[in-house]
Structure 1
Amino acid sequence: MSGKIPKYFINELLSRTDIVELINTRLSLKKYGKNYQTRCPFHQDKTPSFTVNHEKQFYYCFGCNAHGNAIDFLINYEHLNFVESIEELSIIHGIPIPFENNDSNVLYLKKQKLYSLMETLCRLYQKNIHLNKLATEYLFKRGINKKMIEIFLIGYSDVYWHNFSDKFNINKSLEQDLLNHKIIAINKTGYKYDIFQGRIIFPIQDQHGRIIAFGGRSINNTLPKYLNTQETTIFSKGKTIYGLYQVKKICSKPKYLLVVEGYIDVITLTQYDINYVVSSLGTSTTSEHIKLLFQYTNTIIYCYDGDQAGQNAAWRTLIKALPHISDQKNLKFILLPNNEDPDAIIRKEGRDNFQKRIDHAVTMSRFFFKYILKNVNLSSMDEKFQLSALALPLINTISSDTIRIYLRQRLARMIGILDDNQFEKFLYEQEIKKTTKKLIRIKATPMRILIALIVQNPGLAKIAPPLKTLSKSNIKGLQVFLEILQTCLNHPNINTGQLLEFYRNSKIIHILKMLSKWDHMIIQTEIHNMFLDLLRNIYNKTLEERQEYLISKERKKGLNMHEKKEIWNINKKLSQNKIKLFRK
């Protein structure tokens, strides 16, 4: 990111980051020899093929060829862009990003300003709730205790902004910032007001605990009953999960996450020690929600009202989730009695009975067929065909072979095809065969092996002799090798992950990435000797190039005394096959 984020800072971030620890907070890694392994998160992996190397600070999947350093993992796993991944690492390590050019990072600075303003306003809302009897009485009436008020940072916004600003001595500068960022508003007559005026405030936090938005609940029958902050550069309803930060503080990898609809539902269930409850902010579930939730758990349980509207909402969620379901990632549903919500029902029946509902949640496959079979007459051949036409396209969106085949077989029996093999054969004939990516085969030239060795083992640079005499050689790839060698010498403790980061936006990054994961078939104990042998051979080849040039010149023009002496020395070195530079 030349001109934006200094390379030295990126290198510093990577040197502070242990890729094993970073990935292990998101996936369960197991030690396997020198490496760590798990099933790949980027493709349907039946056996662990995703490998993380601590020494190289690099990951690689033998199944789908996914690979990279800590930054690449965040980009691909958490769907971040480059700058967002750097920001993520900077937050983890508690160091700000020192942009080189302030004109290039207006968005970043705007986001930092928003975070600061949201945090300031959140604290004022929190202070204010303890000064407003009506607000606290409402919460206590809803059964929310003081501990939950503190954990979820619940606050209150006064009906009149001028009362609020006077109460907390909000100066003109802060007020103008709040107006500029549209956190508060001003009407045509110049009257300033908080869009959440007269509402209980539920601060919305990101996974790091930063305040990114607010939700407001009316307590005086003002409509709408619930109101959210408008979308900003730090807040998108379709990508945000309420309560996830609180869950993560208790357990970074919960067994499952229970998704409910409202703020109060999350808070009440947490108060009853259901410590894995989150909400999608009252909006329809999105694919981004599902991907985010699956980053923290293998099982998502959605809780809906059992009426028709609730069942329809559950079905829409299921359709969005099908492409993300795998042998590891699964979905379940709880359908509550009509007109009941989690907040009310847990108070009515208690924690243990509510936990039983969770333990007996409806599986994805059961709900799928229960919903899709509604109003289908299986004694009618036409309706069987309609069922097949509706169900098959949905089943085929599932990437897991195991789950997809299981659901197909269940469907086959329902429509009267009892021979599972016959049905699968029929489907196979109807589908376009999936094309698989061919493994990239690299021709093992000496130069490619040499570059691969130093990319995979940057410490080899320390044993390389001075190579200035090679700088004018025309051997293909040599200049690339010499540049990488110099980078490794300039950064003696550099690892593979950091080295690749130096060349992220260069013309050679693709070949370097390819060679970084290439199996050159050289055993570890022989790498040192092979590296020196290859250098020796390249040095000899350079001498041979010079020798050929001088011989050709001698035939055409003749040589001066200096050149005659040079060719004599070259002949001597080549005949002896000993290069002084490489003597141990």
Structure 2
Amino acid sequence: MTGKIPKYFINELLSLTDIVELIKSRLILKKCGKNYQTHCPFHNEKTPSFTVSYEKQFYYCFGCYAHGNAIDFLINYERLNFIESIEELSIMHGMTIPFENTQDNFFYVKKQKLYLLMNQLCKLYQKNIILDNSANEYLFKRDINNTMISTFLIGFASFNWNIFCKKIHINKKLEEDLLVYNILSINKKGYKYDVFQGRITFPIQDQNGRIIAFGGRSINNFLPKYLNSQETDIFCKRKQIYGLYQVKKKFSKPKYLLVVEGYIDVISLTQYNINYAVSCLGTSITIEHIQILFQNTNTIICCYDGDTAGKNAAWNTLKKALPYISDAKTIKFMLLPNNEDPDTIIRKEGKEKFQIRIDNAITMSNFFFTHMLTNINLSSIDNKFYLSKRALPLINTIASDTIRIYLRQKLARMIGILDDNQFEKFLYEQEIKKIQKPEFYIKRTPMRILIALLIQNPDLAIIAPPIKKLKKIKIKGLYIFLEILQICLDYPKIKTGQILEFYRNTNINNILKMLSRWDHMIVQEEIQNMFLDLLTNIYDKILEERQEYLIAQERTIGLTMTEKKEIWSINKKLSNNKNFSKNNTHNTQKN
């Protein structure tokens, strides 16, 4: 485990986190025995194989072998790094991370300071918009009501920083902090200025509602018309979606997300009770955006202008989205009339007609082939070959077998191959079969089984006999077992997921994860007996090695009185252990 954050803190975070609730807030889980199941979010599958254990605080997919604790889930599902996942859990539980490393602590404190400054600045902008007539006139003309101003925390940055400071009463300490963190700038003449001066401000919020940046729209049309904050330690444009926080406050799992281009579009649609609108900050959609959108809904509807530029933007979006489409997740397209955007058209048509446009959005397959057939003459053999050459590589990026085969068959009929089996045979001969990487395998040994039982059932530690004498014995794997045993004794309520966290970034991490999910094919009631039997066998092995050494000594140089007593004691212990094992086996068979 990393040394940058204390082990005790990570262990405490995991003990406070219920992995079932964490995953349930992102996926739909169904109770299955004592565990929970759902379709795996990390690979395409028809039958649910993703299992979450409350008892072990651990998840595992029997299809793609994805596995881990709450931290691993956040890393893999939310695409966070280790420290970001710890920060996410810390926010959930209202805790502050006590970094051991000074540099990391500085970085963490810097981020917290940025969150604080962004929040303070947001409140100042909000206060300013109430006082500024020009800003109010602009919002009045755009027909944005007070409810939307409050919901989206809309504000205004004055044309002059000094006037803004006096009007809002900004103190010198805050001004200095804004300069230090490059939120406020100084020009060549030494004048302080706000990059958003003369702009309506739209705070950009992360999934926890924290303000991480701003978008700005000029009210007198000076260029650029729209502007975003520069990227910082808390803001990465390609990973943020405007309006998602507001949507998620209303719907934990929205039926769809309507992706539009601008801040005003999102706000206007929300004002007309189209409560699923989000925006990619006025930039082209990225792969990260698509991943985040699909994490929050099963259907993405992208809204673009109906002109050539809009259709090309939609096509680029589809190409990026194809690898993430599955039987459960799809993308659609809504093309608006020329010279219209969501803000203008909903004000002309109203909610009902706009909703009809959403309901009639173009499906992924229809849009795919409509675009592919542009300027294609299917009566030409060369055009058919050209179509096949362009379409097949894109179709093959789709993970879903069902969708991939459907699109292939549709393509086959377009180019004149009416026998679906013949076409699939052709494809089989042309492609290299995907071979699923087998799971890492290790041989089962008594020591590994013993470690596996302890990881899976940490409460077994309390029935283990004293271990002090074993620490000097050299048996492969014994040191690891004793170390895990001590962890279990030090943390009596520890779970499987917490134990594994102690070994993150170690060379035995993968082996321990595998042992944590070994199926021992024995009923729960017999796990204690099996654990004690294995321990007894290890003790016997140690005693037998000592016994053999003493016997060899007796034959060569003889034994002292102390050594004779020791060999007698060993014989007695071995005899008692054998009787214990026989009785234990007899009782097990009897039961």
State the TM bucket, normalised to the shorter chain.
Answer: over 0.9
Aligned to 2:306: 306
1:121-171 alpha-carbon deviations (Å, 9 max, x no partner): 000000000001111121121111000000000000000000111222222
In 1, Cα distance between equivalents of 2:579 and 2:484:
23
Instruction: Tell me whether 1:66 sits opposite 2:49 in the alignment.
Output: no
Cα deviation for residue 234 of structure 1 reads: 1.0
Q: Given that residues 154 and 202 in structure 2 are in contact (C-alpha distance below 8 angstroms), is that contact kept between their aligned partners in structure 1?
A: yes
User: Within 5 A, what are the aligned runs for 1:341-490?
Assistant: 341-490=341-490
Q: Given that residues 19 and 69 in structure 2 are in contact (C-alpha distance below 8 angstroms), is that contact kept between their aligned partners in structure 1?
A: yes
Cα deviation for residue 579 of structure 1 reads: 8.2
In 2, Cα distance between equivalents of 1:101 and 1:42:
33
Instruction: Tell me whether 1:193 sits opposite 2:175 in the alignment.
Output: no
1:10-66 alpha-carbon deviations (Å, 9 max, x no partner): 111111111001001111100000000001111111100000000100000001111
Aligned to 1:288: 288
In 2, Cα distance between equivalents of 1:2 and 1:427:
47
SS at match of 2:315: helix
Change (3 A) 1:2 1:364: closer
Aligned to 2:242: 242
In 1, Cα distance between equivalents of 2:371 and 2:43:
29
Instruction: Tell me whether 1:262 sits opposite 2:223 in the alignment.
Output: no
1:510-552 alpha-carbon deviations (Å, 9 max, x no partner): 2111101112222222111111111111111111111111112
In 1, Cα distance between equivalents of 2:144 and 2:506:
56
Cα deviation for residue 2 of structure 1 reads: 4.6
Q: Given that residues 75 and 85 in structure 2 are in contact (C-alpha distance below 8 angstroms), is that contact kept between their aligned partners in structure 1?
A: yes
In 1, Cα distance between equivalents of 2:106 and 2:485:
36
Cα deviation for residue 340 of structure 1 reads: 0.6
Aligned to 2:45: 45
Deviates more, 1:99-108 or 1:309-318: 99-108
Aligned to 2:227: 227
Aligned to 1:12: 12
In 2, Cα distance between equivalents of 1:86 and 1:262:
33
Cα deviation for residue 107 of structure 1 reads: 2.3
Aligned to 2:589: none
Cα deviation for residue 581 of structure 1 reads: 13
Cα deviation for residue 172 of structure 1 reads: 2.3
Aligned to 2:540: 540
User: Within 5 A, what are the aligned runs for 1:124-163?
Assistant: 124-163=124-163
In 2, Cα distance between equivalents of 1:583 and 1:166:
88
Q: Given that residues 98 and 105 in structure 2 are in contact (C-alpha distance below 8 angstroms), is that contact kept between their aligned partners in structure 1?
A: no
Q: Given that residues 59 and 68 in structure 2 are in contact (C-alpha distance below 8 angstroms), is that contact kept between their aligned partners in structure 1?
A: yes
Deviates more, 1:44-53 or 1:171-180: 171-180
Deviates more, 1:158-167 or 1:179-188: 179-188
Q: Given that residues 2 and 504 in structure 2 are in contact (C-alpha distance below 8 angstroms), is that contact kept between their aligned partners in structure 1?
A: no
Q: Given that residues 261 and 279 in structure 2 are in contact (C-alpha distance below 8 angstroms), is that contact kept between their aligned partners in structure 1?
A: yes
Q: Given that residues 154 and 201 in structure 1 are in contact (C-alpha distance below 8 angstroms), is that contact kept between their aligned partners in structure 2?
A: yes
The residue type paired with residue 293 of structure 1 is: L
In 1, Cα distance between equivalents of 2:553 and 2:426:
73
- Residue identity (%): 73
- When normalised by structure 1's length, the TM-score is 0.98
Q: What residue ranges of structure 1 are gaps of 5+ in the alignment?
A: none
Deviates more, 1:532-541 or 1:156-165: 532-541
In 2, Cα distance between equivalents of 1:295 and 1:313:
22
In 2, Cα distance between equivalents of 1:448 and 1:521:
15
Q: Given that residues 326 and 400 in structure 1 are in contact (C-alpha distance below 8 angstroms), is that contact kept between their aligned partners in structure 2?
A: yes
User: Within 5 A, what are the aligned runs for 1:174-189?
Assistant: 174-189=174-189
Deviates more, 1:572-581 or 1:508-517: 572-581
Q: Given that residues 444 and 520 in structure 1 are in contact (C-alpha distance below 8 angstroms), is that contact kept between their aligned partners in structure 2?
A: no
Q: Given that residues 378 and 415 in structure 1 are in contact (C-alpha distance below 8 angstroms), is that contact kept between their aligned partners in structure 2?
A: yes
Deviates more, 1:459-468 or 1:68-77: 459-468
The residue type paired with residue 437 of structure 2 is: K
In 2, Cα distance between equivalents of 1:520 and 1:580:
22
Aligned to 1:510: 510
In 1, Cα distance between equivalents of 2:304 and 2:577:
79
SS at match of 1:105: helix
Cα deviation for residue 440 of structure 1 reads: 3.7
SS at match of 2:296: coil
1:201-258 alpha-carbon deviations (Å, 9 max, x no partner): 1111111111111111011121111111111111111111000000111111101100
In 2, Cα distance between equivalents of 1:284 and 1:364:
19
The residue type paired with residue 164 of structure 1 is: F
SS at match of 1:332: strand
Deviates more, 1:228-237 or 1:383-392: 228-237
Cα deviation for residue 577 of structure 1 reads: 3.2
Change (3 A) 1:556 1:229: same
Aligned to 1:568: 568
Q: Given that residues 465 and 582 in structure 1 are in contact (C-alpha distance below 8 angstroms), is that contact kept between their aligned partners in structure 2?
A: no
In 1, Cα distance between equivalents of 2:242 and 2:573:
73
Q: How many residues align?
A: 584
Q: Given that residues 57 and 497 in structure 1 are in contact (C-alpha distance below 8 angstroms), is that contact kept between their aligned partners in structure 2?
A: yes
Cα deviation for residue 444 of structure 1 reads: 2.2
SS at match of 1:41: coil
1:59-112 alpha-carbon deviations (Å, 9 max, x no partner): 000011110000000001111100000001111111111112322333222211
Aligned to 2:21: 21
Aligned to 1:552: 552
SS at match of 2:469: helix
SS at match of 1:362: coil
In 2, Cα distance between equivalents of 1:74 and 1:386:
43
1:348-396 alpha-carbon deviations (Å, 9 max, x no partner): 1110111111111111000000011011000000000000011011111
Cα deviation for residue 558 of structure 1 reads: 2.1
SS at match of 1:233: coil
Q: Given that residues 451 and 515 in structure 1 are in contact (C-alpha distance below 8 angstroms), is that contact kept between their aligned partners in structure 2?
A: yes
In 1, Cα distance between equivalents of 2:3 and 2:393:
48
SS at match of 1:340: coil
* Structure 1 segments (4+ residues) deviating >4 Å: 578-584
The residue type paired with residue 116 of structure 2 is: S
1:429-464 alpha-carbon deviations (Å, 9 max, x no partner): 111121222234432211111100000111111121
